[in-house]
Amino acid sequence: MNNKCGICHHNCEIADNKPGFCGKREYGMISAVALDPIEKKPLYLFHPGKYILSIGGFGCNLRCPFCQNCDISINYNDKNKQAKYFPPELILELAKESVPDGNIGVAYTYNEPFISYDYLYGCAKLIHNAGLLNVLVTNGCVNREPLENILPYIDAMNIDLKSFSEDFYRKIAGNIETVKNTIELSHKRCHVEITTLIIPGENDSDEEIAELAGWIASLDNNIPLHLSRFFPRYQYSDRKPTSRETIYRLAETAKKELKNVFMGNM
């Protein structure tokens, strides 16, 4: 018997106990837990100077050949054994224990959190009801209904806007309109910052960044944009890293539209 997932744009028909495109169906299997600076998410204008308990597992619903995190997002099958079950109640306990160390809540990060939606929802509701904050670090490829259902419990998001090209998103098994809808809807409900990984020869033209920044500004020119350097990884391991000069140039382009432009991995 097949069931339609409905969490993301793939809308997978999933057989019983089988994974969909993202490769994940496990509940609460966590591979990494750390207390990170909030700026690492990156969120620069949301409780700066504070820390957040950060959790993540394996898997992703995109297939980026340039993935900077491929060890857990794509090449994860042989690493699933490293994951351990963390019930939402344990996540809450760990979050509370680290409040004296400056912790403000929980960030769902490292891999794509929406692929473990039931677990994400359960944790977020529990954390919210305890008076702590929830942060999502996501590629934004989530359908409207599940997004609307969880947003009441989310305080901040960093959303990837990987390109402003439909062709670019098609190559990575994504959907740009889904991402744009996620950004637009989330901005109305919580704090949002956006990250664009700049890849030489792919999305590093002034024209594309001007269009991308212009669209963000049409929502709100105060939305922060992080322009991040690409480093050779995964199927793009033979490429050169993004030059600092390129990031400086594109930041100036984006600043013509946006008030808060930051340069990452410099």
Indicate the pLDDT class of residue 27, thresholds 50, 70 and 90. Answer: confident
Indicate the pLDDT class of residue 28, thresholds 50, 70 and 90. Answer: confident
pLDDT computed for residue 75 by the predictor: 54
Q: What is the pLDDT of residues 177-220, one digit of tens each?
A: 999 999 999 999 999 999 999 999 999 999 999 999 999 999 99
Cα-Cα-Cα-Cα dihedral sign, residues 220, 150, 33, 14: negative
**3 state SS of 240:** coil
pLDDT computed for residue 171 by the predictor: 97
74 Rama sector, left if φ>0, alpha if ψ -120 to 50, beta otherwise = alpha
Q: What is the pLDDT of residues 49-75, one digit of tens each?
A: 999 999 998 889 999 999 998 877 765
What structural domains and CATH numbers belong to the chain? 2-264 (3.20.20.70)
pLDDT computed for residue 81 by the predictor: 58
